[in-house]
Amino acid sequence: MSQPAAAPARTVTVRVPAKVNVQLSVGGLRADGFHPLANVFLAVGLYDSVSATPAQTPRLTVSGPDAALVPQDRSNLAARAARLLAQRHGIEAAVHLHLAKDIPVAGGMAGGSADAAGALLACDRLWGLDTPREELLALCAELGSDVPFSFAGGAALGQGRGEVLTPLQVGGVFHWVFAVADGGLSTPDVYRECDRLREAEGTGSADTDIPEPVASEALLAALRGGDPQALAATVHNDLQAAALSLRPALAETLTAGLEAGALAGLVSGSGPTCAFLLPDADSAARTAHALTTSGTCRAARPTAGPAPGATVV
Ligand code: C5P
């Protein structure tokens, strides 16, 4: 008598985008160790894929050019996301998560947050939980300040520590080149350097010293209008000086991108990836080529935004 064929193990795969902060305004250090933000996020078309497959015991594997830089133990944010979801539903987090990484690691593009958001959605679907979106976003916020945006995608204003999202209208496609650096920067280190520089300038670095950050009306109008020149005139990152202080060579990358025709160049989030805004796809391709050959970065990736958030594929 022949055995019935074992049903193939089901795998759920979720694609999650990287982000750039077109405005990152940082308030003073709060008592809880975070900074209040006016954080205008734009999701862009570089993606990680997170696959969830049933397993006897929790397991995590990683592929991609920077796989060796990613922690593959319980501390990985994707593994923590799976455990958090399982705990909330009183079930075992018995899952094999595979991260196929294309987003630069520790690059200021929310790669770790993308993996957490992807793991949450992939496990939710694999385990048939159908958790309401609002609850998934609340779990995202527990995992990290940028995780709700990685889940939501598009464009949004992040307030609080970045986790309180208001979706934003975007009236067109914005073309970007991302110059990927060798090695990453630690986000807490960059925030600490920002505080240190403020202290050194004599402005003070505490919540009571620095005005509450607000979103720029001109920048929001540029996004709504889909106008790259207007957006270029208004992009701003309060963490840029800190990232440049920790990694002075990034100044050369920024100069190389601007000399290659970018409308604007800025450090992406806490860096060290540099983001360049271009008027169209052709000039993005040309600038990416010029940056690649400039010797000031490891790789240059042309792409566009807004991109959709976490999506089951
Ligand atoms: O929220 P997340 O875990 O991604 O934050 C990592 C670190 O970045 C925090 O521990 C804190 O040092 C810094 N951070 C901050 N203010 C924010 C967000 C992050 O100081 N709004």
pLDDT tens string 128-152: 999 999 999 999 999 999 999 999 9
**Confidence band for 180, pLDDT divided at 50, 70 and 90:** very high
Regarding beta strands 236-237 and 12-26, do their DSSP bridges make them parallel or antiparallel, or are they unpaired? parallel
Report the sign of the C-alpha dihedral through residues 132, 135, 141, 143, in that order: negative
What does the pLDDT average to over 256-263? 98
pLDDT tens string 31-51: 999 999 999 999 999 999 999
pLDDT at 225 over 70: yes
The token duo for 160 is 């609080």
Catalytic residue chosen out of the listed positions 19, 66, 115, 238: 19
**Confidence band for 1, pLDDT divided at 50, 70 and 90:** very low
Task: List, in order of start, the domains of the chain with CATH numbers.
Answer: 12-168 (3.30.230.10), 174-305 (3.30.70.890)
Check if 230 has its Cβ closer than 6 Å to any atom of ligand 1: no
pLDDT over 70, % of the chain: 97
Which residue puts its alpha carbon closest to atom 9 of ligand 1? 188
Regarding beta strands 59-63 and 95-100, do their DSSP bridges make them parallel or antiparallel, or are they unpaired? parallel
d(CA 210, CA 31): 14
* Contact partners, residue 122, CB within 8 Å, separation at least 6: 12, 13, 14, 50, 51, 52, 97, 312
Check if 195 has its Cβ closer than 6 Å to any atom of ligand 1: no
Beta carbons of 21 and 40 less than 8 angstroms apart: yes
Check if 188 has its Cβ closer than 6 Å to any atom of ligand 1: yes
pLDDT tens string 55-97: 999 999 999 999 999 999 999 999 999 999 999 999 999 999 9
For residue 34, report the distance from its CA to the centre of ligand 1, in Å: 5
Annotated binding site for ATP: 104-114
Predicted-assembly ipTM surpassing the 0.95 threshold: yes
Check if 191 has its Cβ closer than 6 Å to any atom of ligand 1: yes
**Cα 303 from chain centre:** 14
Report the sign of the C-alpha dihedral through residues 285, 225, 310, 142, in that order: positive
Q: What is residue 6's predicted lDDT score, i.e. its pLDDT?
A: 57
d(CA 254, CA 22): 15
For residue 279, report the distance from its CA to the centre of ligand 1, in Å: 32
Q: What is residue 264's predicted lDDT score, i.e. its pLDDT?
A: 98
pLDDT at 110 over 90: yes
Beta carbons of 131 and 124 less than 8 angstroms apart: yes
Beta carbons of 109 and 269 less than 8 angstroms apart: yes
71: cis peptide before it, omega within 30°? Answer: no
Check if 171 has its Cβ closer than 6 Å to any atom of ligand 1: no
**Which residues face 52 on adjacent strands?**
12, 97
The token duo for 262 is 């970018």
Q: What is residue 152's predicted lDDT score, i.e. its pLDDT?
A: 98
pLDDT at 2 over 70: no
Residue from 12, 54, 178 nearest 111 by CA: 178
- Residue with structure tokens 């990034």? 250
Beta carbons of 159 and 36 less than 8 angstroms apart: yes
Catalytic residue chosen out of the listed positions 66, 146, 195, 238: 146
Residue 146 CA, closest ligand 1 atom number: 4
**Residue 105 three-state SS:** coil
Q: What is residue 7's predicted lDDT score, i.e. its pLDDT?
A: 56
Which residue puts its alpha carbon closest to atom 3 of ligand 1? 144
d(CA 211, CA 120): 35
**Confidence band for 164, pLDDT divided at 50, 70 and 90:** very high
The pick from 41, 145, 147 for probing ligand 1's pocket by mutation, whose C-beta has the most ligand atoms within 8 angstroms, reads 145
The pick from 23, 39, 161 for probing ligand 1's pocket by mutation, whose C-beta has the most ligand atoms within 8 angstroms, reads 161
Beta carbons of 46 and 20 less than 8 angstroms apart: no
The token duo for 302 is 């042309």
Regarding beta strands 95-100 and 274-278, do their DSSP bridges make them parallel or antiparallel, or are they unpaired? unpaired
Beta carbons of 155 and 215 less than 8 angstroms apart: no
pLDDT tens string 181-217: 999 999 999 999 999 999 999 999 999 999 999 999 9
For residue 44, report the distance from its CA to the centre of ligand 1, in Å: 21
For residue 188, report the distance from its CA to the centre of ligand 1, in Å: 6
Which residue puts its alpha carbon closest to atom 15 of ligand 1? 34
What does the pLDDT average to over 270-275? 98
Residue 36 CA, closest ligand 1 atom number: 21
The token duo for 125 is 């679907």
Q: What is residue 81's predicted lDDT score, i.e. its pLDDT?
A: 98
Q: What is residue 5's predicted lDDT score, i.e. its pLDDT?
A: 57
